[in-house]
Amino acid sequence: VHQNVEVSSPLFSAYLTEKLNERLNLHLHVPQMAGEQGKLF
């Protein structure tokens, strides 16, 4: 799914993937939100 860089874009992609899996009986991987990046110091 092509979208502008937004905080909620991964949520939209996950929702779409879940609905496709349900409707079409697919087993696509649902994207997860990345956790906070590790800190160097």
Q: What is the pLDDT of residues 1-41, one digit of tens each?
A: 565 667 777 888 999 999 999 999 999 999 887 765 666 66
9-20 b/e with 16+ CB inside 10 Å = b?
A: eeeeeeeebeee
What's the token pair of residue 35?
């956790």
27-39 b/e with 16+ CB inside 10 Å = b?
A: eeeebeeeeeeee
Q: Looking at the domain assignment, is residue 38 inside a domain? A: no
Q: Looking at the domain assignment, is residue 26 inside a domain? A: yes
User: For the chain, how many structural domains are there in total?
Assistant: 1
What is residue 28's predicted lDDT score, i.e. its pLDDT?
Answer: 96
Q: Looking at the domain assignment, is residue 1 inside a domain? A: yes
Q: Looking at the domain assignment, is residue 39 inside a domain? A: no
Q: Looking at the domain assignment, is residue 23 inside a domain? A: yes
Domain ranges, residue 13: 1-33
Please give the model's pTM, rounded to 2 decimal places. 0.64
Q: Looking at the domain assignment, is residue 20 inside a domain? A: yes
Rounded alpha-carbon distances, angstroms, from residue 16 to 30, 34, 36: 9, 18, 24
Compute how many other C-beta atoms are within 10 angstroms of the C-beta atom of residue 21.
14
